[in-house]
Amino acid sequence: MPELTFTFGFILVVTGVVAGVSNAVAGGGTFFTFPALLASGLPPVVANASNSLAVWPGHVLALVGYRKELSGYSHAIRGSIAVALVGGAAGAGLLATVGNHAFSKLIPPLILLATLLFAFGGKINAWLKVRTVSAEFSRPKLPTRFLEMLFALYGGFFGAGLGVMLMAGLQMLGVTDPHANNALKNLLAAVINTASIVVLVATGLVAWPHTALAFSGAVFGGLIGGHVARRIPAQVLRRIVIAFGDALAVFYVNKYYL
C-alpha cells in the first residue's frame, strides 16, 4: 500500500465529511470519497473496497429515524433482505477477482451510470409511481427477484447510485409511500453494503489507514448533515454532485482510455 501523507490524510477526512453531509442531504457521497481514495495512490480495486467501508455509516445512520416505517414490513421484506445479503456478498466477491486493470476500465462508465441515476432518479421513481396500482407490498415474482439480485450485485461491486435503483425496485413492488420507500431503501442498501464489506475485509482489500480517516469524516458529516440541510438546499447540493460526477466521468475517460 502507498504511504499515507499528512496532506492526503487531511483530504480524506475533509472529503469524508463532505460525503457524509451529501448523503444526509441529497445522496451521492461516493462521488467525493472514491476519487480521493484513488488520488491518494490506492489501486482502483482497493480504493473501491475502502470506499464501501468509508460510506457505510451513512446507510446505517439513515435507518435510525425509520423504525416505525420498517416495523410494518418486517415479514414482507425478508426475501428481499436475503437477496440483498447474497447479491452484496457476490458483488464484492466479483470485485475481488476482477483485477485493477479491468476495474480501471469500468470506472468511467460506472461513474457516468451513477451520475445519470442520481440526476434522473426522481423522474424514474415518479414515472414508476403513477404506474403502480397498489400501495401495498406486492408478492415478488421471479423477474422482480432477478432484478433485486442485479441491484445487489451492483451494490456489492460498486454501489454509487444504488439508492435510486432500490427505490425504483421498491416502486415496482408497490411501495409508493415515500417514507416507507426511503426506509426500505436504506435498509436494503445497509444490508448490501454490510455483506460486501464482510467479503472485502476478509479478502484483505481494505486499506485501513485511508479508510479510517474517510470513515471518521463521513460519520461526522452524517451527524451534522441535518444542520447543514437548513443552510444548503438539497436541490443546490444535487446540482453540485451531478456536475462533479460529470467532471469525474470525463476525467477518468481521459485517464484510463486516452
Mean pLDDT of 26-46: 91
Is residue 129 very low, low, confident or very high in pLDDT (cuts 50, 70, 90)? low
Q: Which residues contact 117 (CB under 8 A, 6 or more apart)?
A: 124, 161, 164, 165
Each residue of 64-84: pLDDT tens digit? 767 777 777 767 788 889 999
Give domain limits for the chain.
6-256
Indicate left, alpha or beta for 92 from its phi (over 0: left) and psi (-120 to 50: alpha). Answer: alpha
Cell of 68: 416505525
pLDDT computed for residue 254 by the predictor: 93
Report the 10 Å Cβ neighbour count for 202. 13
Task: Give 160-196 pLDDT, tens digit per residue.
Answer: 888 878 887 787 777 777 777 878 888 898 899 999 9
Max CA distance (Å), the chain: 55
Mean pLDDT confidence for 8-30: 88
Q: What does pTM read for this prediction?
A: 0.87
